[in-house]
Amino acid sequence: MSSVLDRIEAVEPKTRALLYVHDRGELLDEASAIDAARSSGDPLGPIAGVPVVIKDNIATKGIPTTAASRILSRFAPPYDATAVERLRAAGGVIVGKANMDEFAMGSSNENSAFVAARNPWDLARVPGGSSGGSAAAVAAGEAVLSLGSDTGGSVRQPSGFCGVVGVKPTYGRVSRYGLIAFASSLDQIGPVSRDVEGAAALLGAVAGEDPRDSTTGVEPVPDYLSELEGGCSGFTLGVPEEYFSEGLSPDVESAVRGAIDVLAAAGANVRSISLPHAEHGISAYYVVADAEASSNLARYDGIKYDQRACGHRDLFDTYCATRSEGFGREVKRRIMLGTYALSAGYRDEWYLKAQKVRALIAADFARAFDEVDAVVGPTSPTRAFEVGARIDDPIQMYLADVYTTHANLAGIAAISVPCDPGDGGLPVGFQIMVDKFQESAMFRIARAYERAAGLGRGVPEL
């Protein structure tokens, strides 16, 4: 705990990965109590004493939870999210709240209303988003583990950019109770860690059925750690033709194909597959996600929550002024797009059609998993891009998620693990996707790659 707090003090002015850091004295007292319990032989949780940061859209009792938005700038929830309750019960110690794109809407962390986080491997580049602070904090040594949220790649894409491990669990594997909603049918809380073992331990601690979230699955949570070291021999990996086409950076393709070769040499069977509707994924995702965001964010009207514009004559003017002042540009853009997609005369043309495409993408994966155990490919089409390079070009920004949205649309599990750092030391993410509730197989394959590749990364000097 001391080393993490010292590291935060040293590098946080550069990374801006955290929006809130808890009191140092209280954290050291909590760590000391866990040391004393360990010395006494008391039973401890699986992550007892591990310093963890929580993405700032996950409710933490009495601790600011702003979703990196001005409209919630002073909000401190009166309760913990289920994932936070379970993390505390497992012994994890919450160091602070991680920076993010406002309401999880973005792929670079530049949409934070407070400050843009930076990539610890190159401070001129973005850490990715929307869980950019979660990934940057772990990569920079400001935390050992982190919880983020993944709606269309928001854990995996920044993990790929920052050279850490990020997991999007099966939809329903982790309770969404206490997660500030962006797109309710897509959102999922997931772990970030420096290695596969840490991610497996954290997911095991927070996963499971929750009566407060009716979308959680009833499937028992396996002991992911006990099954981690089984290797990948006998697994069949599918490589989608559609993931290696126009738009993929040649150096990223080379790194990812190299990772696939490593798994093949470790005993996995590799075969080419097709996901014929993959090209429509990014379009379907942004219609569905923005439509749900339009509905979910209607609650922030200046009456129920934190910020309220003052001096207005009636309720309507108060609503308009509060939302105009409180929401940033990207959030406003997505609310407008989503409202349009749901409006009279356009709902069938846009929202209903996007849901039909979503069903086709899910069917593509279902067919693939009849033949293969996992689908593998790049996490992102490029390495981390420079700060400011895409902030005024939303189409290029959205394309950073071109390979990650499919897992959310289909509701399956996926992990990003770092592969060949290559050019300039900037990481590349290698994505492994598996069928629903098959996280044990996903972790085994990812761990087998991690072991065979031997690509452990140090902490950046900053």
Over residues 107-138, the pLDDT tens digits come to 999 999 999 999 999 999 999 999 999 999 99
The yes-or-no answer on residue 55 being catalytic is yes
pLDDT > 60? residue 423 = no
Mean pLDDT confidence for 444-461 = 89
Beta-strand pair 93-98/165-168: unpaired
Mean pLDDT confidence for 73-89 = 96
The yes-or-no answer on residue 226 being catalytic is no
42 token code pair: 């008391």
Over residues 267-304, the pLDDT tens digits come to 999 999 999 999 999 999 999 999 999 999 999 987 87
Contact 167, 149 (CB under 8 A): no
Write the DSSP symbol of residue 169. Answer: P
Compute the mean pLDDT over every residue in the chain, rounded to the nearest whole number: 95
242 residue type, one letter: E
pLDDT > 70? residue 435 = yes
The yes-or-no answer on residue 130 being catalytic is yes
Taken in order of first residue, the domains within the chain and their CATH numbers are: 2-278+357-453 (3.90.1300.10), 279-356 (no CATH)
Over residues 241-264, the pLDDT tens digits come to 999 988 999 999 999 999 999 999
3 state DSSP class of 54: strand
Q: What secondary structure does DSSP assign to 83-110, as a single string?
A: HHHHHHHTT-EEEEEE--SGGG--SSST
Which residues share a beta bridge with 236? Answer: 269
Active-site option among 55, 97, 168, 436: 55
Nearest C-alpha neighbor of 376 from the set 423, 441, 437, 427: 441
For residue 315, what pLDDT band results from cuts at 50, 70 and 90? confident
Helices (H), 247-280: 250-265
**pLDDT-above-70 percentage for the chain:** 98
Active-site option among 107, 130, 134, 159: 130
**Is the model more confident about 317 or about 255?**
255
Give the predicted TM-score (pTM) of the model.
Answer: 0.96
Task: Establish how many alpha carbons lie within 13 A of residue 168's alpha carbon, considering only the half-sphere containing its beta carbon.
Answer: 35
Active-site option among 134, 154, 159, 294: 154
